[in-house]
A = this chain, B = another copy of it.
Amino acid sequence: MTIERSPHDLAPFAVSMGDPAGVGPEIVAKAWAVREAQGLPPFFVIGERRAIEQVWDGPIATISTPDEAVLHFGSALPCLQLDMGGEVTPGEPSADGAQCALHALEIGIGLAKSCAAAGLVTAPVGKTQLYSVGFTHPGQTEFIAERCGIARNNAVMMLAGPTLRVVPVTVHIPLKDVPTTLSIELIRARAKVTAKGLRRNFGIEHPRIAVAGLNPHGGESGNLGREEIDIIAPAVRSLRDEGLDITGPHSPDAMFHGPARENYDAALCMYHDQALIPLKALHFDDGVNMTLGLPIVRTSPDHGTAFGIAGQNIASPGAMIAAIRMAEKAARYRALMETDGCSDIRTGTGVE
């Protein structure tokens, strides 16, 4: 089937459903329901249609290619159907569901890589369930990086809300391992990907990065820890010498209030919760996880499967909506700059 698109139109966005027993099916459906009011671009969900039907009674259109999504998007939620074995029960994750989530992720990556999808938005998966079916990556991000041929260290997690963007230098490791994992090279690598990612995905020509310290008050000149002196400050200095607009190390507790946030486009944080605590305190309902450093656009809502509330029709689609919208913006900035492999299609006249 050939779909005519006007020049500069994007392909539809792929949304992997995540664990069918989590809130993924519900928030995707709810996002579709408000597509017009929210001005969302065409998207389709990849996963088991039954999981959506269990929690939502709106129209669903089964599709077999992404382009069909554009045809149906106005009247039904397009679903690239993946048959999952066994029953789907909201709130009760299973190995079959994990397998289905992994399958959806794999297909979504492939479609985004081939430019059949303008980007990939991933709904949450249950890691315990994924591990049980042989998944060995720390999370979806690392899996996506590998499939894109990107070294893990170069695929960087950014969490973004309306007034704050954060990038953790270390992520899913025990807190006790953070000080020994930090290095000048690691901070430099993360900062560079962050700067490039802000340009590519957010259209910020001259990105400003603020780097957090590790210790209370940024170590108080070494009295409360030396990582600022030995690792963080040298990294910041060398990056500044190379022309980056980067400051720090800052006292971690003094860089996340309103006026401080106006001084940077992204905060580079030393560990998971230094980044996630302020982001979620400020933007719990609309925080988006965007992976920087990938050839494809990839975002996800910044929350988990929430098995405990799945199927109760109380999950907020806010973060999913924000994730779809952020993916669209990133795809448009990339298309404008023609910096990725899909730009030939996006500026073209059609695709089959």
Contact = CB atoms under 8 A, between A and B. Distances in A.
Contact of A281 (B128, B172, B224, B282): B282
Interface stretch (A21-29, A63-71, A79-87, A212-220): A212-220
A319 to B, nearest CB: 12
B282 A175 contact: no
Interface of A: 127-128, 171-176, 178-179, 214-217, 219-221, 224-227, 252-254, 256-260, 271-274, 276-282, 284-285
A216 B277 contact: no
Contact of A216 (B224, B260, B272, B285): B272
A127 B281 CA distance: 30
A253 B225 contact: no
Contacts of A257: 280-281, 284-285
Given A174-B225, A176-B179, A252 B273 contact: yes
B277 A174 contact: no
23 contacts: A171-B216, A172-B216, A172-B224, A174-B179, A174-B216, A174-B227, A176-B176, A176-B178, A176-B227, A216-B272, A216-B273, A252-B276, A253-B276, A253-B277, A253-B279, A254-B280, A256-B281, A257-B280, A257-B284, A258-B284, A274-B277, A277-B278, A281-B281
Contact of A224 (B174, B220, B279): B174
Q: Determine the main DSSP class of A at the interface with B.
A: helix
A215 B256 contact: no
A214 B278 contact: no
Contacts of A280: 253-254, 256-257
Given A175-B227, A176-B179, 13 more contacts: A127-B220, A174-B179, A174-B219, A174-B225, A175-B215, A216-B271, A253-B276, A253-B280, A257-B281, A273-B274, A277-B281, A281-B281, A282-B282
A243 to B, nearest CB: 27
Most B-side CB within 10 Å, residue of A176, A254, A277, A279: A277
B278 A225 contact: no
Contacts of A253: 272-273, 276-277, 279-280
B216 A173 contact: yes
